[in-house]
C-alpha cells in the first residue's frame, strides 16, 4: 500500500471551518476504489495544525487519486486557507490495513 501522512498548517481564520472546507475533497477521496482510508486529526499541541493520514491500495490507486478532478479542485481550493505548503511523508508499506501495536496489547 501507499501510506501518506501530511501536516497542514491552517490560517487561524479558517481553522473552525476546515472540516467543512475539506468535506467535499474528503468524501470524494474516501469513495475512490483504491482508497483504504483518509482520516483527518487535529494536533493537541497546535490548534492550527491538521494531520491527514491516508492510504491507497497501490501506486496505481495513488496515481488515480492525484489525477482525479477532486484532487485538482483541492489544489486550487485549499492553499488559500493554508499558512505554508503542507509537509508530507509518503512511503510504500506492506499490507492493506493497520497492524496491531503489540506493546500495548489489550487482553
Q: Check residue 107 and give its pLDDT.
A: 83
Distance of CA 72 to the CA centre of its chain: 15
Q: Check residue 15 and give its pLDDT.
A: 98
User: Phi/psi of residue 39, each to 5°?
Assistant: -125, 130
Helix (H, G, I), strand (E, B) or coil at 69: helix
Model pLDDT for residues 58-97, shown as the tens digit of each residue: 999 999 999 999 999 999 999 999 999 999 999 999 999 9
CA distance 15 to 50: 9
Model pLDDT for residues 20-34, shown as the tens digit of each residue: 999 999 999 999 999
Q: Euclidean distance between the first and final Cα of the chain, in Å? A: 29
CATH of domain 2-94: 3.30.70.100
Amino acid at each position: 500500500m501507499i501510506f501518506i501522512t501530511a501536516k497542514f498548517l491552517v490560517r487561524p481564520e479558517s481553522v473552525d471551518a476546515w472540516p467543512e472546507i475539506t468535506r467535499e475533497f474528503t468524501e470524494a477521496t474516501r469513495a475512490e476504489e483504491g482508497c483504504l482510508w483518509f482520516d483527518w486529526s487535529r494536533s493537541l499541541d497546535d490548534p492550527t495544525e491538521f494531520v491527514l493520514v491516508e492510504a491507497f491500495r497501490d501506486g496505481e490507486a495513488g496515481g488515480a487519486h492525484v489525477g482525479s478532478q477532486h484532487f485538482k479542485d483541492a489544489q486550487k481550493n485549499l492553499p488559500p486557507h493554508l499558512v505554508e505548503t503542507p509537509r508530507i511523508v509518503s512511503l510504500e508499506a506492506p499490507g492493506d490495513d493497520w497492524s496491531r501495536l503489540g506493546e500495548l496489547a489489550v487482553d
